[in-house]
Chains A and B, each alone.
Chain A
C-alpha cells in the first residue's frame, strides 16, 4: 500500500460513477482540477500489492499511471490517471490492421512490465483503452494524423481474471506469467477482430474445459463464419492471422510462442501481409482513431466532472488536514509581505522631504553669537560677517 500522510481521496472536489463491473466500480474523480480514475473494489476482489507497486514504477505511454492504492473504510481502492479514450470492449469489430497494431502496442507494454517482473494476469478488452490523440508523441502537427494508442490498465488482479480470456493453467491456480499473458493476447486479438468472444460458457468449469481444448478450434473458420471475412482480401487476412492463432492459442504453454519478442515478430509479419504499406496502415489507423473520437457515446467518461461530493461516492472526503495547506500558504504570504516591506522600506527610507528637513534643521541650528572685539559702533558692512548664520559647525 502506498504510504502517504494524506490520501488523494481527501482532496477530491467532485466525482461521478463511470461504470460498475463484477470486481469493482470505476469512478471519475476531480482532484484539484486533475481527473483521475478510482477503482473501488467489491468485497472478495483484491489485487496483488507487490505487482501494483512494481507496475506503478513503470512509466510507458501504453500503461496506466498508478497514483495511489490502499484501503479506505476496509475497502481496497486504486487510483490512476484518467485516460480519455474508449474501452475496447465497447468497440465491436475492429479492422484487422488496427487490431494488429494495437496488439503490438499492448505486447510492447507487457514487455516493459516484464522487465519489472510483472505479468498482467487479466488481459481482456475491458482492460485496454483506445486513446486517440491529435498529434503523436513526437509532437508532430495535427495534419500528420491522429495517433491511436492502446493503454493497458488493471495489473495484478488476484485470481484468473476475466474467464473468457484466462489461459488454461490459470484455471489450475497457477500464477500469471508471460505465457498466460500470451494466451490471453490471442483471445483478445480474436475479440477485437470478430467483435465477440471466442469462448463463451456458463461457468468456471465450463470455461476451464473449453480453454483446455481451445487448440481444437478452427479460428479462421470461426472468423469466416462471422460473415465479415468473405472477400478475397479478407481471405488473405485470415491466412496472415493463422500463425498468430497457432502461436498463441495453445492449451500447452510450451507450444505457445517463446516470448513477447517472438509475438512482436509474428505481428510484424502479419501486418506486413495485411497492410498495404506503412502509409496505408497509418491512414487506416488514423481513420479508425477519428471514428472512435467522434463517437462520444462510447467514450470512457464524461469530460466534465460534477462538483458534487455527495453523489454516490463510496467514501467520505476527510478535509481535516486542510489546515496544512493554508498554513503553508500563510507562511508564504507572510514571507512575501516581509520581502515587499523590506524592499519598500529600502526604497522609501526617510524620503527626500525628510532629508531636506534634516539638512534645514542642521542649517538653522543657531550657534551662539560670535565673539567680537569690535565695539557696537561698527558699520553695517563690517558687521555682516559676524552675523549668526544658519550653519552649525
Chain B
C-alpha cells in the first residue's frame, strides 16, 4: 500500500517529466535531417549534405539554417573543384545563387563573409574562362558584403592594374598590407607594379617589407634578393 501511495504520488511527476522527455526526443527527431546535413558537411560528404538540407527545405523553404547549410555544401563542392583545378564556374554560380536566396531569409548577417568569398571565387572563375569578363561589380559587392575580404581587394587591384589604372591599384595594395600585413600576394603584386615601372628601389622597399613581415614566404624572399642584387649592380655600374 505504501509503495502504491508513493507510486501514485510519483506517477504524476514522472508523467510530466516523461512528457518533457518525449517532447525532447520528438524535437531531436524533427531535427534529424538538419543534423544529418550538418554531420555530412563536417565529414566532407557534401553531396549527402545537399540532399539532407534540400529535404528540410522541401518542407520549409524559408528555413534559414537549412538554406545556409545548403549554400555551404555547394560552396564546399565548388572549392573542391578549385583544388582539383577543374572548371568550377558552374559550381560557383550555383553557390552564389544559393547565398543570394539565403541573404533574403538570413537577417543575422553571419553568412555574409562566405557569400563574399563565393563572389570572389565566381569572379576568379569567370576571368579564368574569359580574361575580359566584367567582374568588378561582383568584386565590389563582395567587398561590400565583407570589407575584410582582402582577396577580393587584391583581385580588384590586379584587374585595375591590368586595365592601366596602376595608381588605383597601388592604393588598394597599400590598403591591404596596411590592414593585413600578412597578405603576401599584395606585397608581391605591389612590388611588381613598381618593378614594371622601373622603380626598382620602391619595388625592393615593398618586397623587403613583405619579406620582413613574412620571412617564410619564398616568393617574397626571392624577389627581395633579386631586387637587392639589381640595386647593387646598378650602384656598381653607376646607374644609381
Interface size on B, residues (CB 8 A): 71
14 contacts between A and B (CB under 8 A): A32-B6, A32-B9, A79-B1, A340-B24, A343-B25, A349-B38, A352-B34, A353-B108, A356-B111, A359-B72, A380-B161, A389-B151, A390-B120, A391-B82
Can you list the 4 inter-chain pairs with the closest CB atoms, starting with the nearest?
A: A380-B162, A376-B192, A67-B1, A381-B131
Contact B127 A381 (CB under 8 A): yes
Q: Is B224 located at the chain interface by the 8 A CB criterion?
A: no
What CA separation (Å) do A393 and B79 show in the bound complex? 11
Contact B128 A384 (CB under 8 A): yes
Contact B219 A370 (CB under 8 A): yes
Q: Is B138 located at the chain interface by the 8 A CB criterion?
A: no
B4 to nearest A CB, angstroms?
8
Contact B154 A34 (CB under 8 A): no
What CA separation (Å) do A373 and B146 show in the bound complex? 33
What CA separation (Å) do A235 and B162 show in the bound complex? 132
Q: Is A139 located at the chain interface by the 8 A CB criterion?
A: no
What CA separation (Å) do A344 and B27 show in the bound complex? 9
Contact A339 B113 (CB under 8 A): no
The segment out of A15-23, A246-254, A329-337 that lies at the interface is A329-337
Interface size on A, residues (CB 8 A): 59
Q: Is A379 located at the chain interface by the 8 A CB criterion?
A: yes
What CA separation (Å) do A340 and B23 show in the bound complex? 9
Contact A343 B10 (CB under 8 A): no
Q: Is A387 located at the chain interface by the 8 A CB criterion?
A: yes
What CA separation (Å) do A390 and B83 show in the bound complex? 11
B131 to nearest A CB, angstroms?
4
Interface flags, A293-313, vs B, CB<8A=1, else 0: 000000000000000000000
Give the interface of A toward B (CB within 8 A): 4, 6-8, 11, 31-34, 36, 67-68, 79, 325, 328-329, 332-333, 336, 339-340, 343-344, 346-347, 349-353, 355-360, 363-364, 366, 368-372, 376-381, 383-385, 387-391, 393
Q: Is B91 located at the chain interface by the 8 A CB criterion?
A: no
What CA separation (Å) do A371 and B221 show in the bound complex? 10
Look across to chain B and name the residue whose beta carbon is closest to the beta carbon of A344.
B24
Chain B residues closer than 8 Å to A31, beta-carbon distance: 1, 5
Given contacts A8-B5, A376-B192, is CB(A368)–CB(B216) below 8 Å?
yes
Contact A340 B5 (CB under 8 A): no
